[in-house]
Structure 1
Amino acid sequence: MTKKVAFIGAGSMAEAMMAGFFHSQMIEPRHAIISNRSSDERLTFLQDKYGVRTTRYPQALLADADFVVLTMKPKDAVSGLAPLIPYLHEHHILVSVMAGVSTASIVDVIGKKIPVIRVMPNTSAAVGKSATGMAKGAYATPQHLEAVKELFQTIGTVAVVDDEEQLHAVTGLAGSGPAYIYYLVEAMEKAASEIGLNREDAKELILQTLIGSAQMLKNSPKAPETLRKEVTSPGGTTEAGLKELQKHQCQEAFIQCIKVATNRSKELGEALRNQMLNQT
């Protein structure tokens, strides 16, 4: 059966998922409809680029949707869900991509026993390489979970967690992860320029180094520490570089980076709960 998807929110994450779904042919652009808070320009851009439908009317948005994907900012959860409530029914599967926002909070806002699946993909969904974490809410069945899992497996790998609280960690590690890698590449590109490599050659070398390293990590049974040591000859160039990273405590900085992002996910969830309490 043809699946139809409504996107609430039109930012970079929504576009990445759309691009991945369409590329995999899991969803046809004509079976996707999208709305956002206020930017007509953004909706027009997505309509022209992908051939999706757009609307400002909640009833039209949800009329024939199987999946309702919530990609608005967490702080906009209550105001974004409010106009949808009269048109949401138990046959809809809500898929929340809002960092930190629990399925229980979404159900409380809606006030209906609607299945909610919480997911945390990343923007690599656009090229079918997302690392997605997933957990189901109280009213979602294993069949609902399987349907959403099947959808997201078309844009990468999926890890289903039993405890929804673990999605905070997934957010800090994988959801935000591409930004950490891009940050590293920025540094490598700046270093390449300073040591005399031209931009084009440097980019080619950096990308292939990343791809090759990732493939080694995926295919080899060896731990990352072992692979690192195999590259590091005593007194050689790699050892000299690694000593500089250790001097600046780069590994510790990355660990702290992931912990801080995880805690921020928890804070966003708590902020929504407080927002709901203030509105009741």
Structure 2
Amino acid sequence: MTIKVVLAGCGNMGYAMLAGWLKSGQLKPAETFVVEPNADLRARAETLGAAASPDAGGLPAGETPKLVVLAVKPQVIRDVTAAYKHLGNGETTFVSVAAGTPVATFEAILGSKTPIIRVMPNTPAAIGKGMMVVYANGNVSPETKSFVEELLSASGAVATIDDEGLMDAVTAVSGSGPAYIFHFIECLTAAAEHAGLPKETAKLLAMQTVFGAASLAAESAEEPGVLRQQVTSPNGTTAAALAVLMGQDRLKNLLTEAVEAARVRSVELGK
């Protein structure tokens, strides 16, 4: 069976994507090939039925995969990409999940005619609840773009952008965003403890409230602002709390400042 997807890097994100592809039936194990130098991570991929090699030289001769998915850290992305230079300027599409590394970098290594897709995922992709944002250069065919989006959908929601420059904003909102929510849960838990609740009860209330509210917002036809108003009785307890959070746009300004700091840093890392 022809190898459709080569996965370069099988850490947490790579493994989560591979597991999603196979579990959903979008790919058969024999259609995948994993390149991972770490023996433990390689063995983990093999338990899913995928063939694996410690380096790109282990890829069977004559194979021209549909995709090479580069799921490695930005610090090593250039060296890893160079190992697949022989597949550049051809039919193989390269898909990168490395934050901050622009398409131009891959074109310089692989050739200007190479089809390249950038993807910004986030960590909830590990449980199929991620947010993946896709940007493709002009060499990517509509059929391949659809194929990639279908694969990514196994890990969560998928959106596309036509301006690569927006990837820095994507990184700042959904890429880094889970950390903001985790910290919010930490803070809400601490506030609950301060109000007198036992530690474990405080943690459960904070996590389940965030989970439930996000789920309701995702499933409701109403805008989040309307849902907020539905919880808020005039002069009630919620109104008292929101007067603190929303007074002088306090929370809005804080999040805007945080997202902008992340966006600027993403721009710096991409240079």
- What TM-score results when the alignment is normalised by the length of structure 1? 0.82
Q: Deviations over 1:93-122 (max 9, x none)?
A: 211111122223211111262211111121
User: Do structure 1's residue 269 and structure 2's residue 267 form an aligned pair?
Assistant: no
**Percent identity of the aligned residues?**
35
Structure 2 residue aligned with 1:164:
164
User: Do structure 1's residue 180 and structure 2's residue 188 form an aligned pair?
Assistant: no
Q: Deviations over 1:158-201 (max 9, x none)?
A: 11112222222222111222221112112223333343434554
- 2:233 is aligned with what amino acid? S
User: Do structure 1's residue 109 and structure 2's residue 112 form an aligned pair?
Assistant: no
> What SS does structure 1 have at the residue aligned with 2:54?
coil
Structure 2 residue aligned with 1:124:
124
Structure 2 residue aligned with 1:70:
70
Contact residue 3 and residue 27 of structure 1 kept, 8 A: no
> What SS does structure 2 have at the residue aligned with 1:74?
coil
State which drifts further: 223-232 or 98-107.
223-232
- The structure, 1 or 2, with the larger RCO (C-alpha pairs under 8 Å, 6+ apart) is 1
Contact residue 89 and residue 115 of structure 2 kept, 8 A: no
- 1:259 is aligned with what amino acid? E
Alpha-carbon separation, structure 2, partners of 1:3 and 1:53: 10
> What SS does structure 2 have at the residue aligned with 1:158?
strand
- 1:265 is aligned with what amino acid? S
Structure 1 residue aligned with 2:153:
153
Summarize the Cα distance change of 1:220–1:87 in structure 2 as closer, same or farther, 3 Å threshold: closer
Structure 1 residue aligned with 2:243:
243
Contact residue 39 and residue 54 of structure 2 kept, 8 A: no
Structure 1 residue aligned with 2:34:
34
Q: Unpaired runs of 5+ in structure 1? A: 271-280
For 1:89-104, what aligned pairs fall within 5 Å after superposition? 90-104=90-104
Summarize the Cα distance change of 1:160–1:64 in structure 2 as closer, same or farther, 3 Å threshold: same
Structure 1 residue aligned with 2:57:
59
For 1:43-58, what aligned pairs fall within 5 Å after superposition? 43-48=42-47, 50-58=48-56
Q: Unpaired runs of 5+ in structure 2? A: none
Alpha-carbon separation, structure 2, partners of 1:173 and 1:137: 22
Contact residue 115 and residue 144 of structure 1 kept, 8 A: no
State which drifts further: 130-139 or 207-216.
207-216
Summarize the Cα distance change of 1:194–1:32 in structure 2 as closer, same or farther, 3 Å threshold: farther
Alpha-carbon separation, structure 2, partners of 1:254 and 1:157: 23
Contact residue 33 and residue 51 of structure 2 kept, 8 A: yes
